[in-house]
Amino acid sequence: MRGTADRFLEISLVERGISCTARLLGDRAPLTCEAVWKSLPLSGDVHHAKYARNEIYALFPSLAETERPLENPTVTPLPGDLCCSSFTGAESGTKSYGYHREVRPGTTVVDLALCYERNNLLLNGDVGWVPGTVRGQVVEGLDAMADGCNDLWRTGAAGETLSFRRA
């Protein structure tokens, strides 16, 4: 049941026409949830995790004037977890990640991710473990989204957009 303080997001793979609904975990990650909420809507090129396994994500400029502290941290997100991590250009600007033209030294990018299956490990091949803030949990539509994410893994992410908006 939705309480008056609950905030919900719709997360979509736009070209595939697939979406799910998630509840923000404002009680566990208040600063991160507030920064995300104020920044919505957001959309960008979707990427499928290379090391973390069953995760899709998009990269965005910093969501707040100052970086938020790590809240509700994990390196082993569960299916349906929405995670948020910040990276500097040095951590993500290599060719191996495929977005070295967008991520420059001295910049900070925010990774907004959806974990769609189990057995995830938040790992960056260049720097090691990367704890993320669990900022939300999918409450509806995870099975269809997981099917879309698996299709994205098999057929490629080119031309697909990951969108986050208020529900």
Can you tell me which residue has the tokens 């989204």?
A: 145
Percent of the chain with pLDDT over 70: 87
List pLDDT tens digits, range 113-150: 999 999 999 988 777 898 999 999 999 999 999 999 99
Q: Residue 3 above 50 pLDDT? A: no
Helix (H) or strand (E) holding 90: helix 89-92
pTM: 0.89
What CATH number is attached to the domain comprising 143? 2.40.100.20
Helix (H) or strand (E) holding 118: none
In a domain, 2, yes or no: no
In a domain, 1, yes or no: no
CA pair distance 16, 3, nearest whole angstrom: 31
Q: What is the mean pLDDT of the chain?
A: 89
Total structural domains within the chain: 1
Residue 12: which domain range? 8-166
In a domain, 30, yes or no: yes
In a domain, 73, yes or no: yes
In a domain, 122, yes or no: yes
Q: Residue 13 above 50 pLDDT? A: yes
Helix (H) or strand (E) holding 152: helix 142-155
In a domain, 38, yes or no: yes
In a domain, 135, yes or no: yes
Angle (nearest 5°) at CA 125 between 119 and 128: 80
In a domain, 3, yes or no: no
Q: How does DSSP assign 1-68, residue by residue?
A: ---TT--EEEEEETTTTEEEEEEE-TTT-HHHHHHHHHH-SEEEE-EE-SSS-SEEEEEEE-SSSSPP
